[in-house]
Each structure stands twice: as C-alpha cells, then as structure tokens.
Amino acid sequence: MPLPGQVQDAASSVPGFDCDAVLSADLARQFFSQGYKFCLRYLSRARAAQNLTAQEATDILNSGLALMPVQHARPPGWSPDASLGHADGQEASANAKAIGFPTGVNVWCDLEEVSTAARAPDVTDYAQAWYHAAHAAGYSPGLYVGAATLLSGQQLFDLPFRHYWRSSSRVPDIPRRGYQLIQFSPAIQLNGIAIDLDVALPDNEGGSARWLRASAGHPL
C-alpha cells in the first residue's frame, strides 16, 4: 500500500535527524513537537529488529515529519565492485517499494568504511551501479558520503548522483555542487534514543533533497 504524502523538495534550513532506532507514533509526534521537520530511517540489510517498516513509516509521516530511507552501510572493510553495487541498489529499491515509498523520493546509499585494499575505481564502479539500479526503479538516488570512501571530491562529483549528504566525518567537498543534507557531530541522546542531527539545504546548483511528506494539518 502506498505511504501517505507527496514527494517534495526539502525545505531549506530546517532541522532533522537520522537514527537506527524504531520510532513509535508517539515518539515521532514528540520529535515533531520539538521542532524537528524530517528524519531518515534505515532500510533492511542487517539488524532486522531496527529496520524501517510500512507501519513505522506511516506513523512517522502522520506525525508531521518528512521521511527519506537510507540503506544500511556495509560492515567496515568491505570490498566494492559493480556487481555488488547493482545488487545493493536493487535491494534498496525493492525494500523502499515494499514499504510503500513512491517513485521520485530520495533513496540514500550509505558509502563509508571501504577496505583499504580497494582502489578508487572499485568504489566508483560500485557507486555507479548502485545509482543506476535505484534510478531504474524510479527513485532519486542519493549518496551519503561517510568516512573512508577512498574518493576525492572531484571523483564524487563525477558520479551520476545529483543528491549528496555530508556525514559528520571529515569528508571532501563536492566541487561546484556541494551537499543538500549536512550531518552534525556528535550524536546525541534525545527522547530515549540516539540520533544524529541533520539540516537540509539547497546545494550550490539549487538542487534539494527529495523527501516524502504528508503535509495536511502539519505546517513546517
């Protein structure tokens, strides 16, 4: 069943968060009442008990929070290649579709902690294949740039992604484009769970993150 809401450009300069904890309806409403406007939650790979479900996504959207899905990162030291990128991008898209996310919304690839034995072209092959798999499914692929991606800012810019999320780690700038989501450090404990704080901003080319939001009765 489709999730409630419409795909929209993220509003500028609004606060949000990402977390690996399940948000109940009451907890989501609490965050919205405290001024948070969006959140990012994880699609399944491992840690199944914490993965986003259709019911949780519906509760989040009905609270007033906008929502975007992000795929769990692979364990530190993983080895990228095109075949793995294609498989991961297909899995992320299938999971997003199963939850009810409409086409056009950002589905985020969490790129970080690549094996030091890998080479930059391996990472590029992985990221490009992930992008094309998610794009073929109708989603707007986004790239979370975490620690140890092995890619320079120019190499990141040369990827086909048009939506970038800057992690709180020390990562390169994206030449000319910049980032549309900024994550802050340190993580904090709020309302009984650990969250990373984020802000949405247009990038230097005027592009914005694309979130799902059920806006009726919940003004930003």
Note the pLDDT of residue 216.
60
Note the pLDDT of residue 49.
59
Does 40 fall in a domain?
yes
pLDDT digits (tens, 9 = 90+) for 2-32: 999 999 999 999 999 999 999 999 999 999 9
pLDDT digits (tens, 9 = 90+) for 60-76: 999 999 999 999 999 99
Domain count, the chain: 1
Would strands 164-166 and 6-9 be described as parallel, antiparallel, or unpaired? unpaired
* Residue 1 clears pLDDT 90, i.e. is over it: no
Task: Return the CATH number at 99.
Answer: 3.20.20.80
Q: How far apart are CA 66 and CA 94, in angstroms?
A: 20
Q: How far apart are CA 199 and CA 11, in angstroms?
A: 10
- Confidence category of residue 96, pLDDT binned at 50, 70, 90: very high
Does 220 fall in a domain?
no
Amino acid symbol at 13: S
Please report how the helices 120-136 and 82-99 are oriented relative to each other, as an axis angle in degrees rounded to 10: 30
Would you call the peptide bond into 186 cis, given omega within 30 degrees of 0 as the criterion?
Answer: yes
Whole-structure pTM value: 0.96
Q: Residues 43, 92: contact at Cβ < 8 Å? A: yes
Note the pLDDT of residue 74.
94
* Residue 84 clears pLDDT 90, i.e. is over it: yes
Does 1 fall in a domain?
no
- Confidence category of residue 44, pLDDT binned at 50, 70, 90: confident
Domain range enclosing 70: 6-213
pLDDT digits (tens, 9 = 90+) for 48-58: 657 999 999 99
Average pLDDT over residues 122-134: 98
